[in-house]
Amino acid sequence: MKILSERYEQYDIPQQLMAAGIYPYFRAIKSGQDSEVTINGKGVLMFGSNSYLGLSNHPKIKEAAIKAIEKYGTSCSGSRFLNGTLDIHLELEEKLAKLVGKDEAICFSTGFQANLGTISALCGRNEYLLLDSQDHASIIEGSRLSLAKILKFAHNDMASLESKLMLCEPDKNKLIVVDGIFSMEGDIVNLPEIVRLKEKYNASLMVDDAHAIGVIGQNGRGTSSHFNLTQDVDLIMGTFSKSLASIGGFIAGDKEVINFLKHNARALIFSASMPPASVASVSAAIDIMLNEPERMKHLWDLTKYAHQAFISAGIDTGKSETPIIPLYVRDDMKVLKLARILLDEGIFVNPVISPAVSKDDAMIRFSLMATHTYEQLDVAVEKIIRAFKELDVAPRFQRIE
């Protein structure tokens, strides 16, 4: 047997889960990412998507993508730095900077790369990165590449952040990086308090708005807009793979910082640029987001309705206040079983188990889209509550803190 195959043949957890019929990953969807999708020839209600505004299959966006392919082809065949910059990349960057209220923006080919490239370029040896313990994996990976000293503070805990800031040498560069809406927990970062601490300790602040754009802030402008603190946040990062119906990511900030990143972020320089169809899709999605505020309103009406329904059934939704609703189960095996039962019942939800979260935080991640109907939501909530009872999931308030 080959050396690598021999080394990894022992890794058979996925095969064990498949044999038990509870393997939940890489499920093939045979339709667009709508509120109902097709899996195994069957209609399934989608409550596991990040398409918060429900735009991924929108006719105007598809039309924009098709037109871009017709004009520019399917690939830029190179990096933004060299042959891969189109006029539509520059137009999109201008639109994004204006959207989030910053001087300039630069697009990366994924949100992951935006975090990786930005954080690793901006912080170096003998400098500090202060990260929320629940920050996204791409922030962690970017931090590792940076060689800076990483100080993690307890999730959204401002006393913990301050205690870490106090450990930093005062005259050294310090960058605080947080998610705006946390991707699994669904809570919103305590931005006003972070801004106060950032000023007190002379630090800089970057907010990852992957899950906040299209969800909070004026017309979906994100966390800084939500708190009216745009001028106090140095860098705003966003992805296009969630509300904006495409793929790619951006970072926006002062023109001096963006200029530096354009010439130093390796994930930008050494990777091919966003393809034309993706660029055009984002631009069309932003127009819809700005011109159809009723989508965000419906998303929030559904959100309040769903929170109420889960909480009154005794399901533990933690500190979520957004369309991302964690349904805490706190048991990996039960989470996998629930995901399977629910799929069989025609409900798609995301199982989140260790090591993605600690064992005590294993959950079903339930997420809403602006295109869901109340009828669809009622069906899902009813089936979820029944499945939780069937598997005897400990209700809210029984958790020992």
Residues at the site binding ligand PMP, with contacts judged by CB under 6 A: 110-112, 115, 136, 138, 179, 183, 208, 210-211, 239, 241, 249
- Give min distance, CB of 241 to ligand PMP, in A: 4
Choice between 271 and 376, CB closer to ligand PMP:
271
Both tokens assigned to 205:
């602040």
- Give min distance, CB of 249 to ligand PMP, in A: 5
DSSP per position, 219-239: GG--HHHHTT-GGG-SEEEEE
Which among 217, 249, 214 is positioned nearest to 233, based on CA atoms? Answer: 217
Residue 243, amino acid: S
Choice between 183 and 223, CB closer to ligand PMP:
183
Choice between 367 and 376, CB closer to ligand PMP:
367
Say how many C-beta atoms besides its own lie within 10 A of residue 259's C-beta: 13
Active-site choice (149, 211, 226, 334): 211
Active-site choice (49, 56, 120, 183): 183
Residue 380, amino acid: A
- Give min distance, CB of 265 to ligand PMP, in A: 15
Active-site choice (242, 298, 307, 372): 242
Residue 82, amino acid: L
User: Is residue 183 flagged as an active site residue?
Assistant: yes
Give the residue at shortest CB distance from ligand PMP: 111
Task: Report CA-CA distances (Å) from 73 to 57, 64, 70, 267.
Answer: 20, 13, 6, 23
Backbone angles phi, psi at 363, to 5 degrees: -150, 165
Residue 133, amino acid: S
User: Is residue 242 flagged as an active site residue?
Assistant: yes
Choice between 247 and 379, CB closer to ligand PMP:
247
**Alpha-carbon dihedral sign for residues 262, 263, 266, 269:** positive
Which among 199, 163, 193 is positioned nearest to 178, based on CA atoms? Answer: 193
- Give min distance, CB of 120 to ligand PMP, in A: 14
User: Is residue 211 flagged as an active site residue?
Assistant: yes
- Give min distance, CB of 29 to ligand PMP, in A: 17
Choice between 188 and 385, CB closer to ligand PMP:
188
Catalytic residue IDs:
183, 211, 242
